[in-house]
Structure 1
């Protein structure tokens, strides 16, 4: 099994922060959430915030941000525009999202986790915004990464944002922080030791990680779990284990 962190590893930058900036062009009031997000991101990178502090702080900020988007007329108009546009099999809004979305219901036949479409109604505007975002930002997927369908993306970013990038890359396995699509509440933050715990919960306690790729030593628990581990700096990939 190949497992990849997303932001800074296969994506050039921080996708959630880029999404904040992108969404501000549709509703400038979301700028009020930028400073708190940066503050928590810096604390996390410097190791000055505990897991519990990150879960409470990031969860609260994300909830307020998502509710602002859900109430935004311009963001919701994106959903109307997407519904009116023609879609082909390969379009972002066409077809089913064939990605494991952690924290949502499992398909009883395949074991794969699938989104509850009825619960997604509140987040239609967000989905349209995310689709527009990836229309612009798929170019930031690093050229060194060559996706395989069975790759696992293991990220602290949210399923509703990174899931669309995974779909476009042809990937089927995403383990991410989760948002309830019906309430827009953050239900799980996936970073540090949580990554190992959630990976084992989804793939079994005896899961074998042949290769793990990250840009941060804060993923040391995953580095310890993997048979081989690689540190990514820009487009340079260096084996560290």
Structure 2
């Protein structure tokens, strides 16, 4: 079994931050969240935030951000535009809406769902060329299922272990960060799951490297075996 971190590993950048900037094109109100987003991103990369601080801070920022998007007429306009395009292409609206579902976020509001799809229409090219997906790969990420799930669907990868959000309340229900990663992987795949290869761009994933038979550090498109 191959397990991959997502952001910075197989995706060239930080997908959540990229989504934030992408959504700002449709509604400038989301810029009010810029400072806290940057603050927590920097703390995360420098390892200066505890798991408890991340769970509280990221949860608060994410909830307010998604609430703004859910109320945005511009974002909801993406849903209408997507439906109109489907009709012009001769597709059934009901089929189109069903096909737009995101792994782990089937109840996500139409406008937000359309935003995620529009984002990946633009950003799938940022999946690094060295990554050749296999259906049984596992993506293990601190990013949220409502965003990375759509990328996994397009890649044909069926196993995603990510941070989770309640699509009705926008509350963060699980932050798949740091030591929560191996904990959650064991819960999902079982305590005896064997990781043949693990790929990451972060030294903070050392617990996952320790679990794997082989560990690889990814810097850009350069892959170095560290175990």
Q: How would you bin the TM-score normalised by the shorter chain?
A: over 0.9
Aligned partners of 1:131, 1:98: CA distance in 2, in Å? 9
Shift of 1:94: 5.9
The 8 Å contact of residues 100 and 114 in structure 2, kept in 1 or not, is answered as no
Q: 1:96 to 1:129 in 2, by over 3 A?
A: closer
Matches within 5 A, 1:100-179: 101=104, 117=106, 119-120=107-108, 123-179=109-165
Aligned partners of 1:189, 1:98: CA distance in 2, in Å? 18
Q: 1:41 to 1:239 in 2, by over 3 A?
A: same
* SS across alignment from 1:138: helix
Q: Is 1:200 matched up with 2:204?
A: no
Shift of 1:83: 2.1
Aligned to 2:99: 95
The 8 Å contact of residues 98 and 172 in structure 1, kept in 2 or not, is answered as no
Q: Is 1:71 matched up with 2:40?
A: no
Normalised by the size of structure 2, how large is the TM-score?
0.93
How many residues of Structure 1 are paired with residues of Structure 2 in the alignment? Answer: 222
The 8 Å contact of residues 102 and 150 in structure 2, kept in 1 or not, is answered as no
Q: Is 1:228 matched up with 2:200?
A: no
Aligned partners of 1:28, 1:217: CA distance in 2, in Å? 35
* SS across alignment from 1:85: helix
Aligned to 2:174: 188
Matches within 5 A, 1:2-81: 2-81=2-81
Aligned partners of 1:152, 1:92: CA distance in 2, in Å? 27
Q: Gaps (5+ residues) in structure 1?
A: 102-114
- Aligned-CA RMSD value: 1.9
Q: Gaps (5+ residues) in structure 2?
A: none
Shift of 1:92: 8.4
Q: 1:92 to 1:33 in 2, by over 3 A?
A: farther
Q: Which has the higher helix share?
A: 2
Shift of 1:97: 5.2
Normalised by the size of structure 1, how large is the TM-score?
0.87
Aligned partners of 1:140, 1:186: CA distance in 2, in Å? 26
